[in-house]
């Protein structure tokens, strides 16, 4: 099947529910939650359920952003995390991590049953596997660390995958579900409880105080005693979290397979650029939908044609192991990792008691998002779960965090400075072919120029509105990406993904521009 015949995320095919209005005036509330993904919706629902006045603000439609592009594995087995968490946070930290994540899995099961939300929830085991005999000791150590942390984990040499493995960690009683069905159910319920949801409402400013004040791009204000920043990558960063967050993009392909080929679990390996496998109900008798994820890369770092080849590589891998599959869907997901692999959920910075943040889920946003909702709701209500300090964003472990922070900032500096040197952009608009995009210096400015298939040019400023790094073109997704902190923009400059909140400035260019300056300026 040709790529242009493929659709986007499987989850976005589900009806988005009734449209919510954009904010059109000033409002006051006890708690304002910025971001309508899993962390934001779960936080808002937990607070509304407890009787608090809540306003949820989403820049687009709820549950359509990162959450709408997840693979929706709901598990406390997060690759090889437990040995690492134990090393950094001690045995108690690993136990708290395991307990809080498994509670999140159970929370979805309990709430979906209580509210009657049919979200295709299926309970099944999770596996982290290797095909490399040289890595089995790592997985044995991970199984031991997970077991010590209180999870019913075991090391096995066989799985239900249709190919042999050298070894795997198995964890019982995990799950997979349809994230948007679940979250739209929560949204409808919290509205019945009195919560207000505003879509197409981008928040651009935060003034801290008692109360706090938020401002939207249209100039409307929200006054709240408490603010929760749940925008995936924080759009407000008063504690320099961007120095400790690393964005990664990952590709997903999906297509129908016979039900008897369903491996019956959720699976992950870090080998080959990461491979993640699960299935979902297809709605057609005798079939399931196979979902395969992998090919991690930093946004804004790919060459022309590279993303397309990565999709092809992912499909080849799946067909080699699951037989012929006609892939019907493909999409990409983005997430951020912290320097110690534990999410940041808690105070936005050390000096605040009224502003909270949830970020850094490292590809495990389903359990971590649910956990974050419970944790933040508890903290706003004056309670402190045992794992509060584990997830606190203001934590800093010098031996682990500082080297990782320096490495991340070296990466940022490379793009912030290096991308402005000659050779990092084409010399003329004429060099940008149909369907392509490139950075061109025109009139002393760096412009991000895209030529559509009809030949029309679309030009915007090439400097990301977050911190000024130069964007790069992703030809497969037809978008501009910031290689520093992962902001993404449409070709007309609109913000697709934060932390940027302002669009790239649009401008006009014509064929032949760029060449004259380069000819006369060197």
3 state SS of 183? helix
Q: In CATH, what number is assigned to the domain containing residue 44?
A: 3.50.50.60
DSSP helix/strand/coil, 54? strand
Distance of CA 281 to CAs 106, 463, 506, Å? 21, 43, 43
How many angstroms separate the CA atoms of 357 and 33, rounded? 10
- The answer to whether residue 148 is domain-embedded is no
Does the residue 224 lie in any domain? Answer: yes
SS3 4: helix
In a domain, 309, yes or no: no
Size of the chain, expressed as the number of residues it contains: 522
pLDDT digits (tens, 9 = 90+) for 211-254: 999 999 999 999 999 999 999 989 887 777 878 898 899 999 99
pLDDT at residue 158 in the model: 95
396 and 441 share one domain = no
> Does residue 333 belong to any structural domain of this protein?
no
Together in a domain, 228 and 364: yes
Cβ pair 34, 214 in contact under 8 A: yes
Residue 116 domain-assigned (yes or no): no
Same domain? 64 vs 184? yes
Boundary residue ending a domain (370, 390, 405)? 405
Domain boundary among 352, 372, 405: 405
List Cα–Cα distances, 97 to 84, 94, 146, 152, in angstroms: 11, 5, 10, 14
Same domain, 435 and 517: yes
For residue 315 the two structure tokens come to: 């499909």
Question: Cβ distance 23 to 223 under 8 Å?
Answer: no
Contact between 214 and 32 under an 8 Å Cβ cutoff? The reply is yes
CATH number at residue 449: 2.102.10.10
**In a shared domain, residues 375 and 449:** no
Q: Can you give the pLDDT at residue 409?
A: 53
Which residues of the chain fall below pLDDT 50? 1-6, 418, 420-423, 516-522
Q: Domain check: are 449 and 514 in the same one?
A: yes
Query: Is there a domain that residue 161 lies in?
Result: no
Same domain, 18 and 54: yes
The pLDDT tens digits of the residues spanning 412-429 come to 555 555 454 444 567 777
Task: Report the domain count for the chain.
Answer: 2
DSSP class of 224? E
DSSP state of 363: T
Distances (CA, A) of 114 to 203, 280, 459: 33, 22, 51
Q: Are residues 507 and 436 in the same domain?
A: yes
Question: Smallest Cα–Cα separation from 268: which of 376, 363, 407, 387?
Answer: 363
Predicted pLDDT at 273: 82
Q: By residue range, what is the domain housing residue 440?
A: 429-521
Residues 364 and 437 in one domain: no
Asked which of 405, 438, 457 is the last residue of a domain, the reply is: 405
- Residues 437, 487, single domain; the answer is yes
Does residue 506 share a domain with residue 433?
A: yes
Instruction: Please write the tens of the pLDDT for every residue from 46-78.
Output: 999 999 999 999 999 999 988 888 888 999 999
Residue 509 domain flag: yes
Domain annotation covers residue 164: no
Query: Cβ–Cβ contacts within 10 Å for residue 407, how many?
Result: 11
Query: 471 and 398: one domain?
Result: no
């Amino acid at each position: 099947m040709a790529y242009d015949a493929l659709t986007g995320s499987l989850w976005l095919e589900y009806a988005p529910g009734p449209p919510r209005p954009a904010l059109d005036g000033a409002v006051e509330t006890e708690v304002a939650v910025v971001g309508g993904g899993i962390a934001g919706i779960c936080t808002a629902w937990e607070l509304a359920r407890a009787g608090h006045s809540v306003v949820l603000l989403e820049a687009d439609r709820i549950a359509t952003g990162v959450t709408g592009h997840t693979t929706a594995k709901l598990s406390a087995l997060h690759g090889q995390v437990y040995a690492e968490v134990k090393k950094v946070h001690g045995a108690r930290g690993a136990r708290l991590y395991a307990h809080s994540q498994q509670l999140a899995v159970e929370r979805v099961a309990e709430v979906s049953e209580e509210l009657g939300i049919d979200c295709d929830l299926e309970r099944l085991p999770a596996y982290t596997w290797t095909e490399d005999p040289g890595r089995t000791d790592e997985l044995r150590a991970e199984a031991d660390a997970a077991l010590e942390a209180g999870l019913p984990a075991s090391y096995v040499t066989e799985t239900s995958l249709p190919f042999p493995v050298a070894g795997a960690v198995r964890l019982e009683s995990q799950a997979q579900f349809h994230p948007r069905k679940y979250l739209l159910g929560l949204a409808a319920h919290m509205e019945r409880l009195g919560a207000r949801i505003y879509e197409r409402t981008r928040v651009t400013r935060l003034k801290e105080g008692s109360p706090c004040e938020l401002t939207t791009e249209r100039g409307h204000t929200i006054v709240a005693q408490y603010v929760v920043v749940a925008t995936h990558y924080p759009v407000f960063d008063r504690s320099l979290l961007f120095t400790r967050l690393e964005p990664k993009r990952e590709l997903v392909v999906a297509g129908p397979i016979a039900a008897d080929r369903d491996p019956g679990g959720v699976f992950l390996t870090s080998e080959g650029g990461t491979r993640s496998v699960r299935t979902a109900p297809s709605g057609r008798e005798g079939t399931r939908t196979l979902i395969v994820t992998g090919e991690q890369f930093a946004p804004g770092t790919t060459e022309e044609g590279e993303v397309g080849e990565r999709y092809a590589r992912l499909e080849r891998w799946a067909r080699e192991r699951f037989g012929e599959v006609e892939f019907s869907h493909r999409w990409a997901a983005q997430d951020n990792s912290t320097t110690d692999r534990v999410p940041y959920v808690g105070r936005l910075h050390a000096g605040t008691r009224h502003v909270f943040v949830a970020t850094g889920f490292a590809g495990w946003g389903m359990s971590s998002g649910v956990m974050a909702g419970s944790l933040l709701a508890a903290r706003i209500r004056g309670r402190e779960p045992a794992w509060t300090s584990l997830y606190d964003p203001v934590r800093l472990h010098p031996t682990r965090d500082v080297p990782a922070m320096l490495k991340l900032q070296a990466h940022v500096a490379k793009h912030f400075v290096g991308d402005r040197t000659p050779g990092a952009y084409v010399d003329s608009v004429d060099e940008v072919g149909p369907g392509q995009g490139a950075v061109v210096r025109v009139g002393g400015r760096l412009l991000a120029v895209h030529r559509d298939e009809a030949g029309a040019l679309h030009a915007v400023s090439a400097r990301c509105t977050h911190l000024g790094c130069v964007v790069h073109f992703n030809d497969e997704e037809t978008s501009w990406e910031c290689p520093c902190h992962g902001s993404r923009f449409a070709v007309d400059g609109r913000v697709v993904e934060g932390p940027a909140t302002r669009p790239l400035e649009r401008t006009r260019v014509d064929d032949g521009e760029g060449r004259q300056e380069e000819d006369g300026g060197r």
